[in-house]
Amino acid sequence: MSVEHRRGTSAVTVLGADGVPLADTDVTVEQKRHAFAFGNIGFDFIPLANAETDGEGRSSAFGAASVEGLAELSELWFDVFNTATLPFYWRGFEPVEGSPDTDRLLTAARWFADRGVTVKGHPLTWHTLAPEWLTERPLDEIEKLQRERIRREVSNFAGVIDTWDAINETVIMPVFTAERNGISRLARSIGRIPMVRLAFEEARQTNPAATLILNDFDLSSAYECLIEGVLEAGIHVDAIGLQTHMHQGYWGEEEMLAMVDRFARYRLPLHLTETTLVSGHLMPPEIIDLNDYQIPSWPSTPEGEARQADEIERHYRSLVGHPAVQAINYWGLTDDGAWLGAPGGLVRSDGTPKPSYDVLKALVKEEWWVPPTVVRTDAQGQLTVTGFFGDYELSAHGRTARIELTPDSDTGRAQLG
Amino acid sequence: MSVEHRRGTSAVTVLGADGVPLADTDVTVEQKRHAFAFGNIGFDFIPLANAETDGEGRSSAFGAASVEGLAELSELWFDVFNTATLPFYWRGFEPVEGSPDTDRLLTAARWFADRGVTVKGHPLTWHTLAPEWLTERPLDEIEKLQRERIRREVSNFAGVIDTWDAINETVIMPVFTAERNGISRLARSIGRIPMVRLAFEEARQTNPAATLILNDFDLSSAYECLIEGVLEAGIHVDAIGLQTHMHQGYWGEEEMLAMVDRFARYRLPLHLTETTLVSGHLMPPEIIDLNDYQIPSWPSTPEGEARQADEIERHYRSLVGHPAVQAINYWGLTDDGAWLGAPGGLVRSDGTPKPSYDVLKALVKEEWWVPPTVVRTDAQGQLTVTGFFGDYELSAHGRTARIELTPDSDTGRAQLG
C-alpha cells in the first residue's frame, strides 16, 4: 500500500530573527519527529530512568531487561521510537494497598517525555494482574477502588502521560476464569459496557485532554459487537486498540488489513497497541492462551531473524499504508526479559540489533524520514518542505525554527530565533 | 437438575353450573397443555394445512417432508409439541417482489392455532435467504423494504402469530461473506444495534402484544457483547434465542448449562430456538459452517438412534430443569426432507418413531403430565390440583371447566359449564 497519504508539502516563508523574510538563503531542513506513533514498551528503562543499579525494582511479566547495558539499549530505542508504553498493572503498581509506585513511574515517564517521547500508560482497568488484595472485597468497594485508582493515576501523571489504555480486554473480562480476581467479578456483575463507561468517564473527567483507548486482543466479531454497544451507549472513545501478538506466526498483509478494515468502519483512529513477531520457532497453533506456552529456552535463530525482518517490513509498510492506523506499538525492544521468554525483540539478549531492527530503522528514519537537507529560499524567502507528517527544524546562520507538517499545513511561516 | 420449579399446586373450589360448590363429588382432572414451550418446526405441514396434494408448494432448505403421510406425521407432532415455528424466510416468502405467500402461511398458522398450538414466525430479519431482488438496491431502499416487510407480516398474522424471531444471527450479519446480500450490506453500513432496533421497533409498534426474540447461533462472548449493547441501547427484548444445532455431537449437560448460565445473567427468558441431535454418524468437527457438509446419504442407524434417545432425554431434563429456560424448539420431526439431509428427526423417513420420539413423549406427556385423574372434592367443594404449570380441564356430570396452573395460582375457582 502507498504511504503517500502520510506525506505533505508546505510552502514555508522563512523569517530571520528580525521578522524579515530570508531571501535567497541556504536553509537546512531536518525532520525531528514523526506524527505517526512508532511506539514500543518502555518498561525496561524504568530502572535506568530511576538510576537504579540493582535489579530490585525490576518489573515483572513483560519487558524487564537486565540493568546492565540499559544505557546502550536506550540509544537503540530512541533511534527508532517516539512513543513509550509504561506499565500500570495494578498488582505491580500498588502491591500494598495505599502504596502506589507513583514516584518511580513518574520519574520514568518524565525521562521519556524529556527526550521528546509521547508516553502512554497501560492499562487503567484490567482483570489480569488486578491486586490480590482486591479479589474478595464487596463489589461496590471494588468499583469504588477501581474508580479512585483511575482518578489517582490520571491525575498524578497528567501533563506527562496524556494517553491511556482506559480498559484492557473487556470482551473476556466477565468470563475470564484463569484466575479469580476482583475486576472480573465486577464486570460479570455490572456488565461490559458499564465497565467501559466507568473507565472512560473517570479518566475523561480527570484529564479532559487525554487520549483514551479501548484495547483488546479479541479481534473477532465479539470486539465489533462490544465497540458498537459502547458507541451506541454514547461513550467517547478516542482510539480503538488492537493487540497483535503474533507468536504463532505473522498473519500476512491480507488478513491483517482485512481485520483493520473491519475496525476502520467505526471511523475512529486505530492503534496497533501490542505487536510481536518472533525471530525463533513459532508457538504451536493449538495454544489458545499464549501464557500457557512456557518453555525453558526459546532461542532467536538466523533463519528466524531473517523471517522476522521480512515480516517487520511487510507489517509496518502495510499498516502505515492504511489511513485509519495512527499508531503501531511494538511489544519489547530486546529479547532479554521479554514476555514469555519469546525472541520477539528487535535486539538480541546480548544487546546486538537483529536484522528486524535495521529494517525498521531504515523505514522510520531513512525511507520515511527527511535527513538534514539544504534548501535555498526564493526571492520572497519561501522554500518547500515535503515529507512525512511531523516536526521539522529549519536552521540558518546558527538560528533555528520548528514547523509542523500536517494534512492542513499547505503554507506556513517560520521565524528563526 | 430438579424440575420442581416447573410444578405448582392449587386449591380449587369447583362450582356447578349453578354456581354452588360441588361438595363430595368425583371430578376428573386432566392436563391439556404445558405452559413450557415444547416446540418443533411446522414447516412440513404447510401443504397439509393447505390441502395441497402435490409437492409444488413444498418449501425449501428446512423441513420439507413428502406430502404423502403428512396426516399421520401430524398426529405424532401434536402428541408431543405445543409450539410450532413457521418459515418466513424472505426469499421464499416473497420470491417475486410484491407477491408474498401470505394466504398459504396464514392458513397453516391458523391450522396450528386451531389445534391449540402457539405459532411462532421465523425470522423477520436475516441476511441468509434474503431476496435476490433486494441485493443491489440502494441502502436506504433496503432499509425501507425491510421495515415494510416486518410491518406487513407482523400485522397480517397478528392474533395468529404473536411470537417472532425479530432478527436472526445478528453477530455475523455485517461480516457474512458466503453470499452477497442486501441485509448484510445494510447491517455493515448502519451497524448491528441499529439493525436490531429496526427489527424490534417495527415489530413492536405493529403488534405491541408480540413476544419478540433476538436469535443467534453464535453463543460466544460476541453474542454476550451484542446483547449487552442492545440492552444498554434500551431496546426491549422479550427473550434471548439460543440455537443449538448439534450435528457435530451433543455438548453434554455441563457445557450446555454453563452456556445457559452465561445468558441467564441478562435476566430474560431463554428460548432454545433450534435444537438438533442426530441419530446417525456425527458431522466432522472441522466443519465450521454446517451448510458446508453435503453428503449424498446420511442414514439413521440403530446405534445412532440409541445415542440420540439418551441425549434427547438428558438435553430436555437439564434444560427444563434450568429456571431461565422458557422454550425448547426442536428442529424437525422427521428425517424426510430434513435440513442438510441429516438424521436429526425424532421420526424416521418411513414415518416410524425413533426411540428419541418415545423418550421425549414419555417425558412431556407422562412423567411431566397429569393424565385424567379422578379427585374427590371435600365438603366445601375444594380439591387440589398438582402438576406442571399449564392448562387443566376439570369435568364432572358431563360438564367441564378449564383452569390454569401458574406460579401465582395457589387457589382458584372453576365453574363447570
Report how far residue B192's alpha carbon sits from residue B203's, in angstroms, rounded to the nearest whole number.
Answer: 17
pLDDT in tens, A177-213: 999 999 999 999 999 999 999 999 999 999 999 999 9
A35: closest CA among A55, A1, A65, A5?
A: A5
Put the strands of the sheet holding B26-34 in their side by side order.
B373-376, B26-34, B390-396, B399-405
Q: Is the pLDDT of residue B44 over 60?
A: yes
Cβ–Cβ gap B223/A223 under 8 Å: no
CB B60 within 8 A of CB B339: no
Report how far residue A195's alpha carbon sits from residue A215's, in angstroms, rounded to the nearest whole number.
Answer: 13
If pLDDT is split at 50, 70 and 90, which confidence band does A53 have? Answer: confident
A407: closest CA among A10, A82, A1?
A: A10
Report how far residue B266's alpha carbon sits from residue B239's, in angstroms, rounded to the nearest whole number.
Answer: 10
Alpha-helical regions (H) of A5-89: 46-49, 70-80
Q: From chain B, which residues contact A within 8 Å (Cβ)?
A: 171-172, 174-175, 188, 191-193, 218, 220-226, 228-230, 232-233, 262, 265
Mean pLDDT within A351-367: 98
CA angle B84, B88, B90 (to 5 degrees): 170
DSSP A398: T
**Minimum mean pLDDT range among A22-31, A298-307, B55-64:** B55-64
Mean pLDDT within B347-370: 98
Strand partners, B10: B385
CB B11 within 8 A of CB B394: no
pLDDT in tens, B181-224: 999 999 999 999 999 999 999 999 999 999 999 999 999 999 99
Cβ–Cβ gap B193/A262 under 8 Å: no
Q: Is the pLDDT of residue B143 over 80?
A: yes
Place of cell 484463569: A178
Cβ–Cβ gap A192/B224 under 8 Å: yes
Instruction: Name the closest residue on chain B to residue A169, using Cα atoms.
Output: B221
Q: Is the pLDDT of residue A340 over 80?
A: yes
pLDDT in tens, A63-91: 678 888 999 999 999 999 999 999 999 99
If pLDDT is split at 50, 70 and 90, which confidence band does B70 have? Answer: very high
Across all residues in chain A, what is the average pLDDT? 96
What is the pLDDT at residue B312? 98
Report how far residue B224's alpha carbon sits from residue B215's, in angstroms, rounded to the nearest whole number.
Answer: 12
What is the pLDDT at residue B67? 85
Place of cell 436469535: B215
Mutate to test the interface with B, among A228, A265, A288 (most CBs of B within 10 A): A228
Which residues lie closer than 8 Å to B92 by C-beta, 6 or more apart?
Answer: B59, B60, B61, B101, B129
Alpha-helical regions (H) of A114-177: 139-157
Which residues lie closer than 8 Å to A319 by C-beta, 6 or more apart?
Answer: A256, A257, A260, A272, A325, A328
Side-chain-side CA neighbours of B181 within 13 Å: the count stands at 22
Q: Is the pLDDT of residue A250 over 70?
A: yes
Q: How many CB atoms lie within 10 A of CB A67?
A: 17
> A with B: how many residue pairs have Cβ under 8 Å apart?
68
Instruction: Name the closest residue on chain A to residue B195, using Cα atoms.
Output: A228
CB A396 within 8 A of CB A349: no
Instruction: Name the closest residue on chain A to residue B259, using Cα atoms.
Output: A175
A156: closest CA among A197, A199, A100, A116?
A: A100
If pLDDT is split at 50, 70 and 90, which confidence band does A219 have? Answer: very high
Cβ–Cβ gap A225/B223 under 8 Å: yes
CB B182 within 8 A of CB B231: no
Mean pLDDT within B56-62: 54
pTM, two decimal places: 0.92
What is the pLDDT at residue A1? 74
Mean pLDDT within B325-339: 96
CB A333 within 8 A of CB A360: no
Mean pLDDT within A114-124: 98
Q: Which residues of B touch A223 (CB under 8 A)?
A: 225
Q: What Rg do the C-alpha atoms of chain A give, in angstroms?
A: 22
Mean pLDDT within B308-317: 98
Q: Which residues of B touch A172 (CB under 8 A)?
A: 221
Smallest Cβ distance to B229: which of A171, A193, A218? A193
Q: Which residues of B touch A226 (CB under 8 A)?
A: 225, 228-229
If pLDDT is split at 50, 70 and 90, which confidence band does B138 have? Answer: very high
Q: Which domains does chain B have, with CATH numbers?
A: 4-25+377-415 (2.60.40.1120), 37-367 (3.20.20.80)
Mutate to test the interface with A, among B195, B227, B228 (most CBs of A within 10 A): B228
Report how far residue B247's alpha carbon sits from residue B287's, in angstroms, rounded to the nearest whole number.
Answer: 10
